[in-house]
Amino acid sequence: MEKENIISDKSKAFAIRIIKLYQFLTTEKKEYVLSKQLLRCGTSIGANVKEGIYGQSRPNFHTKLTIALKEAAETEYWLELLFETGYITAEQHNSMANDCNELLKILTAITKKTKASK
């Protein structure tokens, strides 16, 4: 059984929400370009976190979580565009953006801490 890891758990749960949003956007809104970008970066956060956890070294961990942080920032951008162009509602945006912002804060704290201890 795997030990609980907050960033891993939250980034995976967020990826699942991103996949469901992608399905909604492609099925209901017939939007394929922005949603594909969102799908790629939104699911990449958790993939990089997982890879970092099983990395070969502390610098490798830091690098992967820095990439996850950048992917979270990109995800935030695509969510803003989808909202500002009317593809998602304010309620959908706020819910997803809040989760994304939480990931950004956690990843920022982790990368700052691991950079200082490299």
pLDDT at 2: 56
Higher pLDDT, 115 or 98: 98
Per-residue pLDDT at 95 exceeds 50 = yes
- CA pair distance 35, 110, nearest whole angstrom: 28
Per-residue pLDDT at 71 exceeds 70 = yes
Q: What is the pTM of this model?
A: 0.94
Q: Which two tokens stand for residue 60?
A: 């490798």
C-alpha dihedral over 17, 95, 73, 112, to 10 degrees? -100
Contact of 54 with 96, CB cutoff 8 Å: no
- CA pair distance 42, 1, nearest whole angstrom: 26
pLDDT in tens, 11-69: 999 999 999 999 999 999 999 999 999 999 999 999 999 999 999 999 999 999 999 99
Domain locations in the chain as residue ranges:
6-113
SS3 for 67-78 is: HHHHHHHHHHHH
6-113, CATH topology level:
de novo design (two linked rop proteins) (1.20.1440)
Contacts 24+ apart (CB under 8 A), 26-32: 29/87, 31/82, 31/87
pLDDT at 115: 86
